């Protein structure tokens, strides 16, 4: 039984989008405007009006979560009629379904295997080994990223036209040819193949294309601004017959170009599909009007956009706060103070979020929250001291400080690679246990007794001699702990490994290490720093229940919170310098869209901040407020006293303050900290 009330709960624009069924339709759905409700209501309406049977409707999402949510909503509206909705899913799941029916056209059997990232990596490693490619210099993940980029552009190996100036492309193309043939031989495909093979089949076999383009009376697509070339091509081929293609999205939230998304798919939709109807969903059901006004004024500075004006059904709400701080540490203090003094009683920790441009920025907030006992979680990432490169650095320092630290020895003895494998390590373990020796002492003894193979002995000797040298540096030469880590990273080969290896994540790893060096400067010596790290990780393990959310703005897309903090709005950091250098104006506009996404995550309060100085890469640097701050409309902003040069230092407490200050000015975090240190 179909629930006919689905139209009654729609606003005018939403209703228009549901009722318009003939021809291509682009729905420009602003943040929080109810796009999922429109898509599901549209499916219900098509079936109720008998415009198509459920199995003649193709509905495409990007994630399994979104597909499941849509399926559940449609089921509530349609009841038993939803059981025939067999073509609702992700791009990959629907393509897999089509490909299994026509596998022979792609030189596969219908029972082909879809390999995951681990299998892909293993296969590339084997190919690199057979082709004498050093994976220390050219990471398998990077190779796969380039191959995936070619597949997203619709290229089989024979169709790739490489940039001869790009040494990596010249090296990777032969690997792509071998990789693709291996997949065919194994009767397998990767995720990129699911769409690529399907598109090639639809292009090369008109009879197959006609089957699907005729069957799919209506096609609906969610988050269309995130589509890449091959996905757009696939949709174009499938809608060839009826042209009833309905795409929903928000060009102002297109922030994934680094994953292959092409905003021009959205911007040029009405040029590709003639007689396109464009409907704007501008009624926002998430945020207060002041938040929307700030976001709308900011994004209006972008030239490449369809354009819309968001209107809230809620009250005006609080002004958006704009805070300036002396430095990054004060920024973390100021935010923690605001949470504890003003917001904690009114909002749950779970409903608060700190959104940063780059993941290394979480460190100062984590340090602060750990210090005052404020629980937090990192969404879409790993906590700072749990990141692999940070744990590697700390392990080196731990072993230098304490030679019996077997856990640290295990972690870094072969990191970077020194031809010291698991078999050797197991042998050292057994020798140490038998002779009651630490792993380091056992390794020395085994070398002395010539119990280690020559190649392994060379790598192990290098490591042990380096340890002695570093201990001498800090104990006799008296270099400080910061200089020690910089020396270790250089002389161990760890820095070179990250810099020279073409790996997509290495830039973030290097940024995190630079942030670690900044953190170390806050401690007097190596011992106090290592103690801090130990306490930080142990304190965190005891937390449960409500937690403040921390994540990058990219990870926040699709989420919403009552209170959102947006720190670090400084030139070079946000907008990010690399984005502008690599993509120019297009990069700047994507950074502005990212700012828009960040602001529109807030339902009730948005707090933007920047600092005048920031401790970055081990040095204090003067910061310049982000150009985006100049683009924020004054009348919707509440600025802190920094803008009037009326700084009240008593407002932002730190733990070195004079204890004579009245306790009423202290936050609960300060009180907890005092109790802990007594």
- By annotation, the residues acting in catalysis are 35-36, 222-223, 253, 601
**What are the Cα distances from residue 402, in Å, to 444, 472, 527, 543?**
16, 13, 10, 29
For residue 463, give the nearest of 509, 517, 403 by alpha carbon.
403
**249 class by beta-carbon count within 10 Å (0-12 exposed, 13-18 middle, 19+ buried):** buried
Task: Please compute Rg for the chain using Cα positions.
Answer: 29
Work out the angle between the directed axes of helices 388-401 and 454-475 (0-180°, nearest 10): 70
**What are the Cα distances from residue 576, in Å, to 178, 364, 568, 595?**
37, 19, 11, 11
**What are the Cα distances from residue 241, in Å, to 47, 211, 277, 404?**
20, 10, 18, 72
Q: Distance (Å, rounded) from C-alpha 251 to C-alpha 244? A: 21
Containing H/E element for 248?
strand 245-249
Give 189's strand partners: 114
What's the N-to-C CA distance of the chain in angstroms? 67
Q: Distance (Å, rounded) from C-alpha 627 to C-alpha 647? A: 23
Please name the residues in contact with 189: beta carbons below 8 A apart, sequence gap of 6 or more.
99, 106, 108, 112, 113, 114, 115, 183, 197
Residues 54/215, Cβ–Cβ less than 8 Å: no
| SS3 state of residue 312 | strand
CA atoms in the 13 A half-sphere facing the CB of 337? 17
| CA dihedral of 308, 314, 317, 319, whole degrees rounded to 10 | 0
Q: Which two tokens stand for residue 599?
A: 């602001």
Q: Distance (Å, rounded) from C-alpha 224 to C-alpha 459? A: 52
Q: Which two tokens stand for residue 426?
A: 């197991």
| SS3 state of residue 619 | strand
Work out the angle between the directed axes of helices 388-401 and 526-541 (0-180°, nearest 10): 130
For residue 531, give the nearest of 439, 394, 407 by alpha carbon.
394
Work out the angle between the directed axes of helices 454-475 and 481-491 (0-180°, nearest 10): 160
Q: Distance (Å, rounded) from C-alpha 419 to C-alpha 459? A: 6
Please name the residues in contact with 271: beta carbons below 8 A apart, sequence gap of 6 or more.
none
Across 218-232, b (16+ Cβ under 10 Å) vs e yields bbbbbbbbbbbbbbb
Q: How many CB atoms lie within 10 A of CB 283?
A: 17
Residues 291/599, Cβ–Cβ less than 8 Å: yes
């Amino acid at each position: 039984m179909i629930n006919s009330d689905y139209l009654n709960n729609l606003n005018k624009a939403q209703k228009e989008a549901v009722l318009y069924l003939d021809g291509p339709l682009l729905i420009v759905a602003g943040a929080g405007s109810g796009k999922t409700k429109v898509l599901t209501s549209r499916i219900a309406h098509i079936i109720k009006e008998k415009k198509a049977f459920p199995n003649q409707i193709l509905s495409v999402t990007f994630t399994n979560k979104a597909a499941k949510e849509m399926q559940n909503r449609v089921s509530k509206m349609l009841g038993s009629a939803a059981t025939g909705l067999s073509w609702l899913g992700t791009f990959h799941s629907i393509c897999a379904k089509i490909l299994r029916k026509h596998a022979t056209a792609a030189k596969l059997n219908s029972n082909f295997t879809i390999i995951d990232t681990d299998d892909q990596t293993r296969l590339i490693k084997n190919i690199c080994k057979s082709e004498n490619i050093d994976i220390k210099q050219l990471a398998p993940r990077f190779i796969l990223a380039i191959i995936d980029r070619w597949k997203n552009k619709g290229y089989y190996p024979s169709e790739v036209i490489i940039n001869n100036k790009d040494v990596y492309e010249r090296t990777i193309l032969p690997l792509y040819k071998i990789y693709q043939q291996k997949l065919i031989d194994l009767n397998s495909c990767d995720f990129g193949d699911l769409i690529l093979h399907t598109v090639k089949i639809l292009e090369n076999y008109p009879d197959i294309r006609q089957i699907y383009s005729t069957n799919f009376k209506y096609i609906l697509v969610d988050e269309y601004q995130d589509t890449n070339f091959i996905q757009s091509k696939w949709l174009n081929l499938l809608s060839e017959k009826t042209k009833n293609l309905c795409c929903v999205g928000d060009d102002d939230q297109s922030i994934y170009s680094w994953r292959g998304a092409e905003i021009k798919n959205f911007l040029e939709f009405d040029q590709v599909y003639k007689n396109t109807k464009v409907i704007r969903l501008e009624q926002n059901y998430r945020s207060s009007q002041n938040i929307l006004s700030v976001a709308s004024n900011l994004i209006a500075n972008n030239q490449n956009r369809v354009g819309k004006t968001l209107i809230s059904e809620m009250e005006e709400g609080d002004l958006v706060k704009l805070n300036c701080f002396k430095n990054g540490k004060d920024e973390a203090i100021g935010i923690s103070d605001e949470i504890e003094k003003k917001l904690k009683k009114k909002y749950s920790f779970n409903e608060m979020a700190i959104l940063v441009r780059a993941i290394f920025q979480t460190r100062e907030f984590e340090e602060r929250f750990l210090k005052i006992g404020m629980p937090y979680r990192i969404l879409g990432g790993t906590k700072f001291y749990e990141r692999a490169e940070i744990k590697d650095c700390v392990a080196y320092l731990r072993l230098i400080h304490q030679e019996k630290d077997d856990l640290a020895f295990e972690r870094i003895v072969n990191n970077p690679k020194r031809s010291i494998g698991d078999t050797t390590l197991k042998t050292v373990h057994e020798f140490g246990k038998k002779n009651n020796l630490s792993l380091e002492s056992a390794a020395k003894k085994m070398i002395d007794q010539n119990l280690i193979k020559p190649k392994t002995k060379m790598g192990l000797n290098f490591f042990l001699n380096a340890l002695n040298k570093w201990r001498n540096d800090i104990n006799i030469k008296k270099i400080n702990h910061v200089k020690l880590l910089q020396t270790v990273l250089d002389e161990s080969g760890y820095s070179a490994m990250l810099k020279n290896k073409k790996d997509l994540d290495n830039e973030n790893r290097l940024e995190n290490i630079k942030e670690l060096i900044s953190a170390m400067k806050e401690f007097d010596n190596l011992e106090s720093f290592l103690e801090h790290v130990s306490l930080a990780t142990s304190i965190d393990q005891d937390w449960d229940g409500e937690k403040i959310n921390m994540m990058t703005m990219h990870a926040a897309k699709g989420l919403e919170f009552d209170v959102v903090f947006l720190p670090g709005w400084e030139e070079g950091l946000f907008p990010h310098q690399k984005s502008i250098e690599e993509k120019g104006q297009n990069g700047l506009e994507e950074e502005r869209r990212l700012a828009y996404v960040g602001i529109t995550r807030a339902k009730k309060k948005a707090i933007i901040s920047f600092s005048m100085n920031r401790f970055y890469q081990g040095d204090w640097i003067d910061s310049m407020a982000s150009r985006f701050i100049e683009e924020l409309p004054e009348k919707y902003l509440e600025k802190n006293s920094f803008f009037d040069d009326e700084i009240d230092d008593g407002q932002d407490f730190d733990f070195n303050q004079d204890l004579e200050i009245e306790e009423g000015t202290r936050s609960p975090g300060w009180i907890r900290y005092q109790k802990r240190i007594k």
